[in-house]
Structure 1
Amino acid sequence: MRIPRIHHPEPLTVGAEIALSDDAANHVGRVLRMSAGQALQLFDGSNQVFEAEIVRSDKKSVQVKVLSAALDDRESPLHLHLGQVMSRGEKMEFTIQKSIELGVDVITPLFSERCGVKLDAERLNKKIQQWQKIAIAACEQSGRNRIPEIRPAMDLEAWCAEQDDALKLNLHPRAQASINTLSQPVTRVRLLIGPEGGLSADEIAMTAEHAFTDILLGPRVLRTETTALTAITALQVRFGDLG
């Protein structure tokens, strides 16, 4: 069996005995049915991996001992901040999961004129917590040892107005530029992906006022979740660590 990778929310040190978080303990003890003496790999977001061994496992808790630590940097040289106008249902979860597998560092959920998601503050906060758990699971699966940040949701214009020295990109079906025509080198990108109905004319004009460059992915119209992953992949191939 492949050694499970488990995120631990607090800093780890070699030689320490720790209790896994409730979610991790449930997965290791109840789902995987692992027992004392079996191996785990832990990571705490510090870009290290920690080899560990289960000391005690029961239905309520799992205790492990940290045996060793090693730096394991799998982060792309391209820092990507995804501004994603929120999509309905599982589409947003899919976008978050796959964009993190592809190397995105920060995700900000956005509201726009045509955003189809309407949530009160309490439900939105629960969504953010759920999306952060999806981010952690994506790191466990993909081998990343830093946890990308899922920021609180914010208005599109406020996000566009934030001060940032990154290259700012907005996907637009009638743009003249493409990712292949962007000048190198690029080390930081702020990527805006609009809603399923697209950005309004006023919003597109607003992004230009905040120095966003309109780019075109190709001749076909893509769904919002497809657009995000296609753009991230193309950026990683050109400026990051894919291909």
Structure 2
Amino acid sequence: MQRFFVEPHQIDEAAHQIHIIGTDVNHISNVLRMKQGEEVWISDGGQKEYRCAIEAFSADEVLLHIIYAQEPDYELPSRIYLFQGLPKADKMELIIQKAVELGAYEIIPVETKRCVVKLDSKKAAKKVERWQQIAESAAKQSKRMLIPNVHQVLSFKEALKYAESMDIRLIPYELAKGMQETKEILAAIEQGQSIGIFIGPEGGFEEKEVEAAISEGAKPITLGKRILRTETAGLAILSVLMFQLEN
């Protein structure tokens, strides 16, 4: 069943109606070619979702009838922030899509020393707009209750500053200590704690960047004996955290 997101002002619980507006109107009417009576899921971007039936169409609105509402437990009990070093080509699109599926709360693109990709403010804004659309599509597909935000591109220094208030900060690093210490660090993470994960671009982080992160409280961890690509590393640690936090 298709899922869409709305703002609270679009929901009229007293009248048992939801008003779909914006680009979703065209998507429902002309792309999906949905008909009156077909059912959809609607998320309010918080904890509540609504099962609805299409009641009527107009040029700029799709009117839904609320069948029932519920408060499912789809979201992880912790907010996970993925600080991703800008990769080459279209790898960021794949990373965002899968990070959203795995429960990331926010994805922050980061420009580091070894990033091959360099974006000026205009290009960065267009990229972020595209990445946000991918995050929304992935959220709809994976039954997320909210659309994870794709932050504006930050420098590594700005990213460390942004992560200051997070409870746990992790930086996978090939020179980190053994797997046992990593297991202990991850096992100590509690539900409800906010978690920042720093992933380097192709070529990884420079040693000075790792030192700066550690000095700000980040804990270096290992992801095993094999070297993972930038588009794999973040998803690997997100998978581990998802499995652990779901329990």
TM-score, length-scaled by structure 1: 0.89
**Where in structure 2 are there 5+ consecutive unaligned residues?**
none
Question: For the structure 1 residues 53 and 153, does the alpha-carbon distance in structure 2 shift closer, same or farther, using more than 3 Å as the test?
Answer: same
**Separation in 2, partners of 1:165, 1:34:** 43
The one-letter code matched in structure 1 to 2:121 is: A
Going from structure 1 to structure 2, the CA distance change for 1:13 and 1:60 (only over 3 Å counts) comes to: closer
- How far apart in 2 are the matches of 1:18 and 1:143? 19
Query: 3-state SS of the aligned residue for 1:176?
Result: coil
SS in 2 for 1:24: helix
Equivalence for 1:170: 171
Q: Which residue of 2 aligns with 1:203?
A: 209
Q: 1:241 is aligned with what amino acid?
A: E
Write the distance in 1 (CA, Å) between the matches of 2:106 and 2:51.
Answer: 27
User: Aligned runs of 1:78-227 on 2, under 5 Å?
Assistant: 78-162=78-162, 163-178=164-179, 179-182=182-185, 183-186=187-190, 187-227=193-233
> Greater CA deviation, 15-24 or 181-190?
15-24
Distance 1:197 1:13 in 2: 51
Label 1:89 to 1:82 Cα distance change in 2 as closer, same or farther (>3 A). same
Q: Any idea what the Cα deviations from partners look like across 1:158-212, whole Å, max 9, x if unmatched?
A: 2113422421111111210443121524333211001111111221221121121
Computed over aligned residues only, the root mean square deviation of the Cα atoms, in angstroms, reads 2.1
Runs ≥4 in structure 1, deviation > 6 angstroms? none
Structure 1: which 5+ runs fail to align?
A: none
**115-124 or 189-198: which moved more?**
115-124
Q: Which residue number corresponds to residue 13 of structure 1?
A: 12
Alignment-mate amino acid for residue 46 of structure 2: S
| Seq. identity, % | 28
Give the Cα separation in 2 of the matches to 1:236 and 1:65. Answer: 34
Partner Cα separation in structure 1 for residue 8 and residue 85 of structure 2? 31
Alpha carbons of structure 1 residues 213 and 177: separation in structure 2 relative to 1, 3 Å: farther
Say whether the 8 Å CA contact 2:55–2:63 is kept in structure 1: yes
